[in-house]
Amino acid sequence: MRATAGRRGLLLGAAGLAARPARAAAPRVAAIDWGLAETLLGLGVAPVAAAELHGYAHWVREPAMPAGVVDLGLRGEPNLELLHRAAPELILATPQFAPFLPRLERVAPVASFATYVPGGDPLVRSQDIARAIGRLVGREAAAAALLGKAEAAFEAGARRLSGMAGRPWLTASFVDARHLRAYGRTSLFGATLARLGLINAWTEPTNAWGFATVALERLAAVPEAQLLLIEPVRSEVEADLGRSPLWQALPAVRAGRVARLGPCWAFGGLPSAMRFAGLLPHE
Amino acid sequence: MLPPSPRPAGWPALLLGTLLLAGALLCGLRLAAILPPEQWWQALTQPVPGDMTQVVFRHAVLPRMAMALLCGAALALSGVILQRVLRNPIASPLTLGISPGAQLALGAAMLWAPTLLAASREAVALAGATTAMALVAALSWKRGLAPAAVVLAGLVVGLTASALSAALILMKGEYLLSLLLWGAGSLAQAGWEPVLALAPRLALAAAAAFLLRRPLLLLGLEDTSARSLGLSLALGRAAALGVAVWLAAVVVAEVGVIGFVGIGAPALARLAGVRGMGRLMAWSAGFGAALLLLADGLVQLGQGLRGDLLPTGAATAVLGAPILLWLLPRLRAGSPAVMAGITASRRLARPWLFLALLLAAMPVLTWFGLALGRGPEGWSLALGVDWLGMLPWRAPRLAAAMAAGAMLAASGTVLQRLTGNPMAGPEVLGLGAGAGFGLALLLLLVPAPGRPAQLLAVAAGAGLALGLLLLAARRGGLAPERLLLAGVSLAAFFQALVAAFQASGDPRAVPLLGWLAGSTARLGPEDATIAVGLALLLLPPVFLAGRWLALLPLGDGVAVGLGLRPGLARLGLVLPAAMLAGAATLVVGPLSFVGLMAPHLARWLGLRTPRQHLAGAVLLGALVMGAADVLGRGLAFPFQLPAGLVAALLGGPYLMALLARRGQVA
């Protein structure tokens, strides 16, 4: 695990929370990042506070956020007063919150986890992070169970999709009708495809989050691909695609090899990977 | 305008030919990389069904080249018309707020009227562009659409539209990926439909422009001479502006915001010695087409066939920078009438007593600002122990915001008095945009940089902008209007670069967005100490320079007579003003308008001498920025709006109202 710890805070927090007797009352944890929030929920722990709950319900979907969780507002600018009032014992954050770190540490110890690093495998890191969070909140058993459940889901998915193993899959979300984000090996979707024994059609360079924003014409380079479009596809994009000769000429479109998935959070953790695997069409 | 310079008759053709040849060469290379030349004809006439290479050749690469030519021509034509109508060599769809207006309309429609957007993107963009242009025209109409008035109105409108777009992106970023991409202008195509839509529109606009060439020629003259020639100025202007706005809106709707072609192409045409309105329009369109084709060719060459998208709009900014820097020292200063000094509506009987009362009120207001907050139960005042409990969360950001407001206000007061221009301000000098560029570069190069590194990057960016500004304005001896125009151009340049970074959808750009919007939530006691310390360090010297501020606007002759070296004194005032602006920008981002607004408020209250004006503006600036911080905490609860954004949304309409009112007075 390479949890970049929130300096002095993490050690204190880890010691403090791990010292609880097992099966104690639910630890009070705040999770600002959606991927960490869903992982926490996957461990059976509801966060006391999380950010942009409306957006979470729309983009992440599963596991559902229970009622009573404090909405901290924007992920990019969490409401610190509310966070303070929610009185968490531990805050889960990512390195993206580095500018906020001193402020967050005033509220509670911060554990910072990077799921996405250049060249890293986000699925492996998601598993490590689930285990690490399990240790931090005293839910090692739940973490082991989540990992087991994920393994089972991936195994089942691999079996279900074994008939498709020969075909490369291209996961993408549309920006507008002329541009899309293609997800590569180091994206959550790409890593999950690999775990399922499937081939990722996008082998070109991507950014640290594992995707590349590219023009539509680049799809022509992978004629044999099965297209997986992450919902939502905006209505005006649909309309433009319907009139685009380039889109219509793509082999995948002509052969009807275009599937819609989701929504499914591209920058999530283990639960999002499981959701993605479950959404994949097997025919 | 540029002074006419004699050139050999063949110059324009030679220059255009060279540019086109270079562009065509790059295109040829690109085409050949996709499809062997011997198959080109077949791909066009008898395409092999199912051959994807031929499809890409035919429906992506070729229309992209056509799009580059058309958009370049359209933007150049739009630019040359705007420049002529407004008698302003740096007027362009970008600097006048037309493109930001169109972009805002597209973003709003995406969120609230997707069916409208699906029906006609052009109509939505046109509505936004027209609204922006109408606002700019209305705000500067009474001042005869004087160059400086128009540019500043355009700046206010454009920045307000950008602030609103930033708010939309902050709140609903996941839904608005395309808005970020449009902000940087990508020419990628997926069929001929957009080209076929743009071509007849361009032809129509060109025809209209051709018919308007005589009125346009007259519009280049001063109003009085044009009127004496019997021209209906209003009608001619409206028609010409309509054509220019339409062209810009269509381009934004199809490919997004592409800057600099609208300024660069007409400048090249003039540089090549083209004279006469009809010829100027035709040659500008040609240069625009060639420039964008070349820029897009370079973009695709740099990008190759792999890797992330590099938007063309950003590349034109990079290519356009040298042209701008060359152009700036050659700008003709505006007519003196435009630069009429600040007139206060009243005079306070006891200004110092008023200032003392204001100062005394500050602690009370600050206490109130710290006590006021919003929780799940609604707005409330935290009293006693609660007040102390909230202090660690509310005090640092409020202190930093107020210090930044004070510094911006001081900077704005100095610049307004120095330039004699009521619309001068640090926002106008491009320092904020430069700071943003520094931060963007750092975020690109260093993974998760810490606060000290971010501060350094922001300071370096602001310093770079200031250096460029002084360099560009050097020949004019810091002439007020030249400084302003240079600042506006710099701001546009840096904004294009930052937009390119954001457009990649790279999550590294998220902190940048927060800073651009003026987020104060991340600020802790250390940041507050730095901000307050900088304010205490930088404000006193400005007060000491009060005598220079009083003498310089009287004219260089008077100043010299009283033993002042005007050039040196100006530099001695501009430098601290820039440092104040840079320091404030570190804290609240580049987008607040407080530096423009606070000096006005102080004037309006009747504070007239330089020191009174400064003191009043500093206190009011601190109050306004502090109020923006307090409001930002609660307005959209639980969402927190960045203080800079709130100040901009308060300040934009205020400045627009002010511009309109001043127009009636002047």
Nearest to B191 among A70, A245, A251 (CB): A245
pLDDT attached to residue B481: 61
Which residue, among B54, B308, B506, would best test binding to A if mutated, counting the most A CBs under 10 Å from its CB?
B308
Within 10 angstroms of residue B376's Cβ, the number of other Cβ atoms is: 10
pLDDT, tens digit (0-9, with 9 covering 90-100), for B364-414: 999 999 999 888 888 888 888 888 888 888 999 999 999 999 999 999 898
**Which residues on adjacent β-strands are paired with residue A181?**
A173, A213
Q: What is the 3-state secondary structure (H, E, C) of B187-213?
A: CCCCCCHHHHHHHHHHHHHHHHHHHCH
Average pLDDT score over residue span B181-187:
81
Cβ separation of A220 and B115 shorter than 8 Å? no
Among A51, A80, A114, identify where a domain stops. A114
Sign of the C-alpha dihedral computed for residues B488, B68, B59 and B123 taken in this order: positive
Contact A77 B392 (CB under 8 A): no
Q: Which of B114, B526, B640 sits opposite A234 (nearest CB)?
A: B114
Are residues A168 and A262 both part of a single domain? yes
The reported pLDDT for the residue numbered B406 is 95
Contact A249 B55 (CB under 8 A): yes
Q: Is B59 helix (H, G, I), strand (E, B) or coil?
A: helix
User: Does the distance separating the beta carbons of A205 and B448 come in below 8 Å?
Assistant: no
Shortest Cα–Cα distance, A256 to chain B (Å): 14
Task: Measure the CA–CA gap between A247 and B306, rounded to whole angstroms.
Answer: 20
Q: Residue window 154-173, chain B: list those with CB within 8 Å of chain A.
A: 170-171
Residue A65 has pLDDT above 80, yes or no: yes
Is the CB of residue B627 less than 8 Å from the CB of residue B618?
Answer: no
Residue A22 banded pLDDT, cuts 50, 70, 90:
very low
* Domain count across chain A: 2
φ/ψ region of A68 (left if φ > 0, alpha if ψ in -120 to 50, else beta) reads: left
Separation between Cα atoms, residue B473 and residue B482, nearest integer Å: 6
Give the integer Cα–Cα distance in Å for A31 and A90.
9
- Closest chain B residue by Cα to residue A59: B174
Q: Is it the case that residue B258 has pLDDT exceeding 90?
A: no
- pLDDT confidence bin for A34, thresholds 50/70/90: very high
Task: Tell whether the torsion through CA atoms of B324, B325, B326 and B327 is positive or negative.
Answer: positive
Eight-state DSSP code of residue A65: P
pLDDT digits (tens, 9 = 90+) for A178-237: 889 999 999 999 999 999 999 999 988 888 888 888 888 888 888 888 999 998 888 888
Average pLDDT value over all residues in chain A: 86
Chain B residues near residue A267 by CB distance under 8 angstroms: 507
Alpha-carbon gap: A224 to the closest alpha carbon of chain B (Å) = 11
DSSP state of A71: E
Question: How far from each other are the two terminal CA atoms of chain B, in whole angstroms?
Answer: 24
Decide if B514 touches A, using CB distance below 8 A.
Answer: yes
> Chain B: residue nearest A238 by CA?
B118
Give the residue carrying structure tokens 């998601």: A126
- Counting residues of chain B whose pLDDT is more than 90, the rounded percentage is 20
Of B230-239, B520-529, B588-597, the range with the highest mean pLDDT is: B520-529
**Chain A residues touching B638 at Cβ < 8 A:** 70-73, 79, 82
Give the ipTM: 0.81
Q: Which residues of A touch B524 (CB under 8 A)?
A: 102-103, 106
DSSP result, B133-174? HHHHHHHHHTTTT-HHHHHHHHHHHHHHHHHHHHHHHHHHGG
Q: What is the DSSP string of A238-256?
A: HHHHHT-HHHHHSHHHHTT
The CB-side HSE value for A149 (13 A sphere, CA atoms) comes to 18
Hey, are the CB atoms on B60 and A216 less than 8 Å from each other?
yes
The pLDDT of A65-72, averaged and rounded, is 91
HSE of B616, CA atoms in CB hemisphere, 13 A: 24
Residue A144 and residue B568: Cα distance in Å, rounded? 72
Domain B54-327 has CATH 1.10.3470.10: yes
Q: Tell how strand A90-93 and strand A70-71 pair up.
A: unpaired
Parallel, antiparallel or unpaired: strands A90-93 and A110-112: parallel
Q: What are the residues facing A172 on neighbouring strands?
A: A182, A229
Q: A14 with A128: CB under 8 angstroms? A: no
Question: For residue A240, is it within any domain?
Answer: yes
Which residue in B55, B513, B523 is closest to A246 by CB distance?
B55
pLDDT at res. B300: 81
Identify from B57, B59, B381, B508 which residue to disrupt to test chain A contact, counting A C-beta atoms within 10 A and taking the largest count.
Answer: B59
Q: CA end-to-end span of chain A, whole Å? A: 37
Contact A282, A163 (CB under 8 A): yes
Could you tell me which chain A residue has the CA closest to the CA of B632? A79
* CB neighbour list of residue B372: distance below 8 Å, 6 or more residues apart: B379, B380, B381, B382, B630, B634
Torsion angles phi and psi, residue A247, rounded to 5 = -60, -45
Rounded CA separation B23/B27 (Å): 6
**Tokens (6 digits) for A84:** 């303070």
Q: Which of A106, A217, A235 sits opposite B190 (nearest CB)?
A: A217
- Can you give the CATH number for the domain in which A33 is found? 3.40.50.1980
Where is mean pLDDT largest: A114-128, B333-347, B454-468, B505-519?
A114-128
Q: Which among B182, B506, B521 has CB closest to A80?
A: B521
Cα distances (Å, whole numbers) of residue B260 to B14, B319, B470: 22, 8, 21
Q: Which helix (H) or strand (E) holds A281?
A: none
Please name the residues in contact with B326: beta carbons below 8 A apart, sequence gap of 6 or more.
none
How far apart, in whole angstroms, are the C-alpha atoms of residue B417 and residue B280? Answer: 38
* Amino acid code (one letter) for B415: L
Residue range B117-123: average pLDDT?
85
Asked if residue A82 belongs to a domain, the reply is yes
User: Taking CA B661 as the corner, what is the angle to CA B658 and CA B662, rounded to the nearest 5 degrees?
Assistant: 85
pLDDT at residue B517 tops 60: yes
Q: What is the spatial distance between Cα B119 and Cα B376, in angstroms, rounded to a whole number?
A: 40
Q: Which member of A76, A205, A215 has the closest CB to residue B514?
A: A76
Instruction: Determine the pLDDT at residue B404.
Output: 93
Mean of pLDDT values over B464-489? 66
- When pLDDT is cut at 50, 70 and 90, the band that residue A9 belongs to is very low
Residue among A43, A31, A237 nearest A142 (CA): A43
- Please give the average per-residue pLDDT across B507-512, as a whole number: 68
In the stretch 39-98 of chain B, residues with CB closer than 8 A to chain A read 50, 52-53, 55-56, 59-61
**Range with the largest mean pLDDT of B109-118, B127-136, B227-236:** B127-136
Cβ pair A204:B307 closer than 8 A: yes
Average pLDDT over residues B215-230: 63
Q: Is the pLDDT of residue B58 over 80?
A: yes
- Cite the DSSP H helix spans in B256-377: 261-271, 277-303, 312-327, 351-371
> Cβ contact (<8 Å) for A251 and B55?
no
Q: Do A213 and B181 touch (CB under 8 A)?
A: yes
pLDDT range class, residue B2, cuts 50, 70, 90: very low
The rounded mean pLDDT for chain B is: 80
| Domain spans in chain B, listed from the N-terminal domain onward | 54-327, 351-665
Higher pLDDT, B551 or A272: A272
Cβ separation of A76 and B513 shorter than 8 Å? yes
Cα dist from B447 to A133, B479, B607, whole Å: 23, 42, 48
Residue B634's closest chain A neighbor by CA? A79
With an 8 Å Cβ cutoff, are A214 and B308 in contact?
yes
The SS3 call for residue B77 is: helix
Interval B194-198 mean pLDDT: 91
Token pair 């109020």 is found at B627
Lowest mean pLDDT among A131-135, A211-215, A267-271, B123-127: A211-215
Q: Is the pLDDT of residue B361 over 80?
A: yes
Shortest Cα distance, chain B CAs vs residue A85, angstroms: 9
Question: Which residues of B, range 515-554, sit inside 8 Å of A by Cβ?
Answer: 519, 521-524, 526
User: Amino acid identity, residue A235?
Assistant: S
Query: What band does B346 get if pLDDT is binned at 50, 70 and 90?
Result: low
Residue A228 belongs to domain spanning: 164-279
- From chain B residues 436-495, the ones with a CB under 8 A of any chain A CB are 447-451, 454
What's residue A21's pLDDT?
47
Question: B479, B475, B425, B412: which is closest to B618 by C-alpha?
Answer: B412
CA dihedral angle for residue B63, residue B68, residue B69, residue B75, rounded to 10 degrees: 140
Q: What is the DSSP string of B98-123?
A: HHHHHHHHHHHHHHH-HHHHHH-HHH
Examine residue A204 and state whether it is found in any structural domain, yes or no: yes
Q: Is B309's CB within 8 Å of A214's CB?
A: yes
Give B50 or B110, the one with higher predicted confidence.
B110
Mutation target for A interface from B174, B299, B512: give the one with most A CBs within 10 A.
B174
Give whole-number Cα distances, B370 to A79, B366, B384, B602, B626, in Å. 15, 6, 12, 24, 10
Indicate if the pLDDT at residue B478 is higher than 60: no
Backbone φ and ψ of A250, nearest 5°? -60, 135
Distances (CA, A) of A219 to B61, B307, B317: 14, 13, 29
Cβ atoms of B114 and B176 closer than 8 Å: no
Task: Pick the most confident of A238-247, B379-388, B531-540, B558-567.
Answer: B531-540
Contact residues on chain A for B521, CB-CB shorter than 8 A: 77-80, 100, 103
CB contact under 8 A, B505 and A175: yes
The verdict on B181 touching A (C-beta cutoff 8 Å) is yes
Between A153 and B93, the higher pLDDT residue: A153
CB contact under 8 A, A95 and B448: yes
**Quick one: A261 and A169 in the same domain?**
yes
Other CB atoms closer than 10 Å to residue A266's CB: what's the count? 24
Q: How far does the CA of residue B321 sit from the closest CA of chain A (Å)?
A: 26
Asked if B505 reaches chain A (Cβ–Cβ under 8 Å), the answer is yes
Sheet architecture: strand order including A29-31:
A70-71, A49-50, A29-31, A90-93, A110-112
Which residue in chain B has the smallest CA separation from A231?
B175
Is residue B593 left, alpha or beta, with left meaning phi > 0 and alpha meaning psi from -120 to 50?
left
Q: Which residues of B touch A220 (CB under 8 A)?
A: 52-53, 55-56, 60
**Yes or no, beta carbons of B392 and A106 under 8 Å apart:** yes
Q: Please, which pLDDT band fits residue B508 given cuts at 50, 70 and 90?
A: low
Residue type, B100: P
Q: Tell me how long chain A is.
A: 283
pTM for the structure as a whole = 0.84
Q: B635 to chain A nearest CA, in Å?
A: 12
Nearest beta carbon to residue A74 from set B307, B447, B639: B639
- For residue A121, the model assigns a pLDDT of 92
Set of chain B residues whose Cβ sits within 8 Å of the Cβ of A216 = 60, 188, 190
B318 at interface of A, judged by CB pairs closer than 8 A? no
Rg (CA), chain A: 20
Domain B351-665 sits in CATH 1.10.3470.10: yes
pLDDT of residue A8: 37
> What is the distance between the alpha carbons of residues A248 and B49, in angstroms, rounded to a whole number?
12
Single-letter amino acid code for the residue at B311: P
Shortest Cα distance from B112 to chain A (angstroms)? 13
**Is residue B232 left, alpha or beta, with left meaning phi > 0 and alpha meaning psi from -120 to 50?**
beta
**Which of B61, B171, B178 best probes binding to A when mutated, by most A CB atoms within 10 angstroms?**
B178
Across the interface, do B309 and A223 touch by the CB < 8 Å criterion?
A: no
Mark B503-541 as b/e (b = at least 16 C-beta within 10 Å). Answer: bbbbebbbbbbbbbbbbbbbbbeebbebbbebbeebbee
Asked if B307 lies within 8 A of A212 by C-beta distance, the reply is: yes
Q: For residues A186 and A123, is the Cβ–Cβ distance under 8 A? A: no
The predicted pLDDT at position B666 comes to: 32
Asked if B31 contacts B61 with a C-beta cutoff of 8 angstroms, the reply is: yes
